[in-house]
């Protein structure tokens, strides 16, 4: 039997414009540049603004919280309509930082050409006493070397492929000889299949005292597991050397490079573009949103004539299309405006909350997303989107925004202590410990509790692991 019922439900629905704004909000600077370029390609109503005319707009790169609130209230009273854009040739988004200055030329330095590691190794290999078959083996081996410099494919399979492809009769022994030659090139150790083999290759090619080199070779080739687990008492028993000699051999091994192929970065791969730049000026902090590469946008003048009241007669479907694109362009420009405003307000709240850190670069206060959300007057999810993949350039370096959000522990005095401060204290205790008898997690916890910081052993272990510090047994030194 059918029946009608009434139900009251509480729900939240986002308009397409709100969804667009939230997506733009979480984009870092470089991604936003690509998003703007894509929108320019897809929406004919959008075009680049006239930079000469837009350069006359305001040039203040940073605004205080009060100024931002005032500008927001003024914009709340404005309602963009089609008529507003019909009589404003320069309506659109203008980034103050995107305007060229008369006293400076934009110049992008050319990137230096780099030679790949494999090519450098082959150049060195050609200088050796080799023949054509050795060269083919070397090229195949280097083609299978990963970014860390290790040969991850079995040498036997490489020989089989060469024999089948070129109808050769190469032997595994010959390939081993070629691999040994490659491992002796600069940087030494490239082409190794295991870490002990990599370390041994570096020991054989390096300029070290003969006796010390032989001892280090024995350790990495015959007793590597005991060395890795820092079972030094077993090493002393098997190798019959003094503690001082063992210490020198271990220090030699620890100074070798475990990843000989690492460090091959291009300028683009090893570069972070900060989204904010915070500088100090006369006791106050200035916040700059680094969006100078975001092009200024405005509504395309040519398409305005199609929907003008006294314009040319155009088919209704064409007018509907243009109006639809006009609305999309209007909301896209407004979303970029709103994104800029929100980012500045959030960054200002972070700087005010962590003012002590921006002053000296040392002490962070406990701060979570909720703290900033309450100050800015937005939802916690908005703060999460702002912080996502964003970087800030400060006097103390470039940091992710997440760096400034930390939970806290309570001290005996009732004050909140940031977990970053606790982690640094744990690091200091470990660096000052007796290397022959390092502190375990329980001992570190007792020290911190004695200093008035209430912390459990499990929390100490979690913070130590986050710092990348091994357990006490693996920190033992001779």
Q: Could you tell me if 183 and 159 lie in one domain?
A: yes
pLDDT at 374: 92
Q: Could you tell me if 281 and 219 lie in one domain?
A: no
Identify whether 109 is part of a domain.
Answer: no
Please identify, among 149, 173, 193, the residue that sits at the C-terminal boundary of a domain: 193
Identify whether 8 is part of a domain.
Answer: no
| Average of per-residue pLDDT across 134-147 | 92
Q: Could you tell me if 286 and 235 lie in one domain?
A: no
Q: Could you tell me if 296 and 378 lie in one domain?
A: yes
Q: How confident is the model at residue 317 (pLDDT cuts 50, 70, 90)?
A: confident
Identify whether 299 is part of a domain.
Answer: yes
Burial class (CB in 10 A: 0-12, 13-18, 19+), 380: middle
| Average of per-residue pLDDT across 288-292 | 87
Ranking 150-164, 305-319, 326-340, 345-359 by mean pLDDT, the lowest is 305-319
399 pLDDT more than 50: yes
Please identify, among 263, 292, 317, the residue that sits at the C-terminal boundary of a domain: 263
Q: Could you tell me if 125 and 241 lie in one domain?
A: no
pLDDT at 291: 84
Identify whether 111 is part of a domain.
Answer: no
467 pLDDT more than 60: yes
Q: Count up the domains in the chain and report the number.
A: 4
| Average of per-residue pLDDT across 132-157 | 92
239 pLDDT more than 90: yes
Please identify, among 235, 263, 291, the residue that sits at the C-terminal boundary of a domain: 263
pLDDT at 77: 45
Round the average pLDDT of the chain to a whole number and report it.
81
- The string of DSSP letters for 178-234 reads HHHHHHTSSSTTTTBSSHHHHHHHHHHHS---HHHHHHHHHHHHHSHHHHHTT-HHH
Contacts of 139 (CB under 8 A, 6+ apart): 122
Q: Could you tell me if 280 and 375 lie in one domain?
A: yes
Q: Could you tell me if 342 and 286 lie in one domain?
A: yes
371 pLDDT more than 70: yes
- Tokens coding 476: 């033992």
pLDDT at 98: 47
Q: Could you tell me if 412 and 378 lie in one domain?
A: no
- Contact indicator for 384, 346 with CB cutoff of 8 Å: no
Burial class (CB in 10 A: 0-12, 13-18, 19+), 166: exposed
| Average of per-residue pLDDT across 341-360 | 91
Phi, psi for 418 (deg, rounded to 5): -65, 145
Burial class (CB in 10 A: 0-12, 13-18, 19+), 432: exposed
pLDDT at 85: 45
Q: What is the CATH number of the domain that holds 134?
A: 1.10.10.1330
164 pLDDT more than 50: yes
Bridge partners, residue 392, by sequence: 276, 399
Q: How far apart are CA 189 and CA 213, in angstroms?
A: 16
18 pLDDT more than 60: yes
Q: What is the CATH number of the domain that holds 426?
A: 1.10.10.60
Identify whether 4 is part of a domain.
Answer: no
pLDDT at 263: 61
pLDDT in tens, 190-213: 999 999 999 999 999 999 999 999
Q: Could you tell me if 146 and 243 lie in one domain?
A: no
pLDDT at 50: 60
pLDDT in tens, 402-453: 888 887 665 655 556 677 778 888 888 998 888 888 889 999 988 888 888 8
Q: Could you tell me if 138 and 184 lie in one domain?
A: yes
Domain membership of residue 80 as a residue range = 16-48+55-97+273-400
Identify whether 79 is part of a domain.
Answer: yes
Q: Could you tell me if 282 and 383 lie in one domain?
A: yes
Bond before 270 cis per omega within 30 degrees:
no
Q: How far apart are CA 341 and CA 378, in angstroms?
A: 12
pLDDT at 408: 64
Q: Could you tell me if 83 and 128 lie in one domain?
A: no
| Average of per-residue pLDDT across 87-94 | 50
Ranking 13-22, 198-207, 237-246 by mean pLDDT, the lowest is 13-22
- Tokens coding 339: 């994104």
Identify whether 7 is part of a domain.
Answer: no
Identify whether 112 is part of a domain.
Answer: no
């Amino acid at each position: 039997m059918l029946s009608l019922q009434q139900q009251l439900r509480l729900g939240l629905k986002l308009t397409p414009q709100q969804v667009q704004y939230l997506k733009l909000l979480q984009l870092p600077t470089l991604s936003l540049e690509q998003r703007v370029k894509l929108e320019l390609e897809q929406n004919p109503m959008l075009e680049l603004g006239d930079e000469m005319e837009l350069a006359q707009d305001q040039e203040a790169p940073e605004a205080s919280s009060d100024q931002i609130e005032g500008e927001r209230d003024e914009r709340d009273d404005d309602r963009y309509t089609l008529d507003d854009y019909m009589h404003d040739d320069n309506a659109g988004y203008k980034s103050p930082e995107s305007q060229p200055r008369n006293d400076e030329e934009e110049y992008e330095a050319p990137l230096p050409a780099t030679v790949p590691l494999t090519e450098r190794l082959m150049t060195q290999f050609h200088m050796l006493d080799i023949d054509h078959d050795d060269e083919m083996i070397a090229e195949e081996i280097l083609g299978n070397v990963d970014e860390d410099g290790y040969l991850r494919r079995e040498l036997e399979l490489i020989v089989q492929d060469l024999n089948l492809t070129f109808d050769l009769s190469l032997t595994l022994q010959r390939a081993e000889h070629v691999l040994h030659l490659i491992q002796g090139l600069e940087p030494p150790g490239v082409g190794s299949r295991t870490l002990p083999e990599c370390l041994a290759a570096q020991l054989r090619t390096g300029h070290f005292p003969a006796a010390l080199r032989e001892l280090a070779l024995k350790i990495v080739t015959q007793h590597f597991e005991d060395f890795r687990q820092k079972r030094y008492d077993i090493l002393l028993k098997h190798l019959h050397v003094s503690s001082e000699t063992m210490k020198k051999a271990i220090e030699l091994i620890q100074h070798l490079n475990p990843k000989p192929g690492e460090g091959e970065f291009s300028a683009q791969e090893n570069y972070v573009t900060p989204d904010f730049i915070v500088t100090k000026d006369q006791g106050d902090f200035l916040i700059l949103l680094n969006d100078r590469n975001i092009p200024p946008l405005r509504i395309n003048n040519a398409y305005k004539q199609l929907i003008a009241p006294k314009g040319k007669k155009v088919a209704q479907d064409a007018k509907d299309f243009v109006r639809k694109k006009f609305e999309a362009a209007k909301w896209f420009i407004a979303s970029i405006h709103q994104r800029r405003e929100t980012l500045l307000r959030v960054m200002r709240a972070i700087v005010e909350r962590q003012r002590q850190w921006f002053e000296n670069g040392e002490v962070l206060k406990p701060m979570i997303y909720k703290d900033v959300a309450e100050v800015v007057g937005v939802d916690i999810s908005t703060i999460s989107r702002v912080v996502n993949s964003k970087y800030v350039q400060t006097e103390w370096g470039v940091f992710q925004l997440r760096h400034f959000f930390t939970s806290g522990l309570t001290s005996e005095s009732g004050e909140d202590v940031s977990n970053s401060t606790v982690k640094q204290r744990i690091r200091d205790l470990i660096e000052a410990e007796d290397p022959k008898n390092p502190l375990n997690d329980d001992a570190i916890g007792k020290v911190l509790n004695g200093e008035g910081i209430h912390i459990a052993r499990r929390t100490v272990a979690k913070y130590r692991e986050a710092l990348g510090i091994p357990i006490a047994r693996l920190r033992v030194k001779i």
